[in-house]
């Protein structure tokens, strides 16, 4: 069965010429064109260009990933509301895009995230507490990027795509058999950094996969204000292939990303993947999405939930029973408890740590500034007035 889902003739007739697929996809009878291996109802289908063979164990493992990542994310949102975190960027609704692409990577591949790739971090064995430490303000990331092959979160929109491209160019010069994946959102696609990264990656044939999570909203701006064509088609203008995948289908995301990484590592240059998904929650905990989008839109996307569709598939095929689902739920609650207690128990960092990694080697000026700060801080303990 060919499962590149296409808009119906009726929907195309109703749409005005030049209307992007992203807009047509919101119509009552329309669907965007995308690669799909698992329907919203949990039916497994095949695609001739992106075959995927999975064992029951692998499917259950993917389901576990999705549930635990969502549970962690929900706990982080609750902790922010309780004043334990300064801010949180939820991935609710985007679990399949992140877990599918994250599990497609080999150990030697390197990921460059934005600030929302908690699911990819999970796949790279980054402790969730290290993610929360940054949002609590007690560290600048907490994990060793070179140990996890997962770069620190990037707050500056789109900057990580240039970092990823440069790293990928270095891989080529080293002759390594690895690839790079750079994550960004639909809003970031309008940034100059992203388009410059496309240019460098294409010209230097860099082994990098650009993974755009099109969650339909760049804070309060819809994708239709970012582009007049589907985002994945932009790749052709830079000379490399682009693919749109169902971002709520963990199997399709796994298959397409695995293909793209192999394409890149085999010397064929970059690939752009547009994961067509939806941000079910707010942009961050400082945002109120009810001010700019309708409840009907959110409700329509709930029917495409990535966890529900994989669970439906497991149940229909008899690949998991209630004991399995109950065990995953219990594990998710234990994760939530560990995260909650861990965050509240995080010690305040030593203020002098800000001087430790300004330069890679000791520096006289930094040493002097550290000494001045230590003396200044000690004066408060001595009861001096300032």
The one catalytic residue among 10, 81, 140, 292: 292
What DSSP element (H or E) covers 73?
helix 56-81
Per-residue CA distances from 129 to 144, 283, 343 (Å): 14, 21, 7
Q: How many helices (H) and strands (E) does the chain have?
A: 15, 9
Strands of the sheet containing 34-35, edge to edge, are 4-5, 34-35, 242-246, 271-276, 208-214, 180-185, 110-112
Q: Give the Cα separation of 339 and 348 in Å (integer).
A: 17
- Rounded to whole angstroms, how far apart are CA atoms 368 and 376? 12
Task: Look at the chain and count its residues.
Answer: 386
* Closest among 116, 68, 123 to 217, alpha carbons compared: 116
Which residue among the candidates 136, 283, 311, 313 is catalytic per the annotation? 283
283 is catalytic: yes
- Block residue for tokens 């408890």: 337
Name the residue among 113, 81, 102, 122 with its Cα closest to residue 284.
81
Which one of the listed residues 70, 118, 151, 279 is annotated catalytic?
279
Distance CA 35, CA 223 (A): 19
Catalytic, 279? Answer yes
Give the SS3 label for residue 128: helix
116 is catalytic: no
Active site residues: 279, 283, 292
């Amino acid at each position: 069965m060919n499962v590149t889902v296409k808009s119906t003739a009726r929907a195309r007739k109703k749409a005005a010429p030049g209307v992007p697929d992203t807009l047509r996809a919101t119509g009552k009878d329309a669907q965007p064109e995308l690669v799909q291996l698992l329907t919203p109802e949990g039916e497994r289908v095949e695609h001739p260009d992106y075959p995927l063979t999975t064992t029951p164990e692998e499917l259950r493992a993917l389901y576990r990933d999705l549930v635990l990542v969502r549970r962690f994310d929900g706990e982080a949102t609750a902790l922010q509301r309780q004043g334990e975190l300064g801010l949180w960027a939820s991935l609710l609704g985007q679990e399949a895009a992140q877990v599918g692409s994250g599990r497609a990577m080999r150990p030697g591949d390197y990921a460059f995230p934005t600030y929302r790739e908690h699911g990819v971090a999970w796949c790279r064995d980054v402790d969730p507490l290290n993610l929360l430490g940054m949002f609590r303000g007690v560290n600048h990331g907490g994990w060793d990027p070179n140990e996890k092959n997962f770069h620190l979160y990037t707050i500056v929109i789109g900057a990580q795509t240039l970092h990823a491209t440069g790293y990928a160019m270095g891989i080529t010069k080293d002759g390594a058999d690895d690839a790079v994946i750079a994550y960004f959102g639909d809003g970031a696609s309008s940034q100059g950094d992203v388009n410059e990264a496309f240019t460098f990656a294409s010209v230097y044939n860099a082994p990098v996969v650009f993974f755009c999570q099109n969650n339909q909203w760049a804070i309060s701006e819809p994708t239709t204000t970012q582009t007049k064509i589907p985002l994945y088609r932009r790749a052709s203008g830079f000379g490399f292939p682009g693919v749109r995948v169902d971002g709520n289908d963990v199997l399709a995301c796994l298959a397409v990303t695995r293909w793209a990484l192999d394409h890149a590592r085999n010397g064929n240059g970059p690939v752009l993947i547009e994961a067509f998904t939806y941000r079910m929650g707010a942009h961050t905990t400082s945002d109120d999405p009810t001010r700019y989008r309708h409840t009907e839109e959110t409700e329509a996307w709930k029917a495409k939930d990535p966890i529900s569709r994989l669970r439906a598939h497991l149940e229909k095929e008899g690949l998991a029973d209630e004991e399995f689902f109950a065990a995953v739920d219990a594990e998710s609650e234990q994760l939530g408890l560990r995260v909650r207690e861990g965050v509240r128990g995080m010690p305040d960092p030593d203020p002098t740590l800000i001087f430790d990694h300004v330069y890679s080697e000791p520096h006289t000026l930094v040493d002097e500034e550290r000494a001045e700060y230590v003396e200044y801080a000690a004066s408060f303990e001595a009861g001096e007035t300032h």
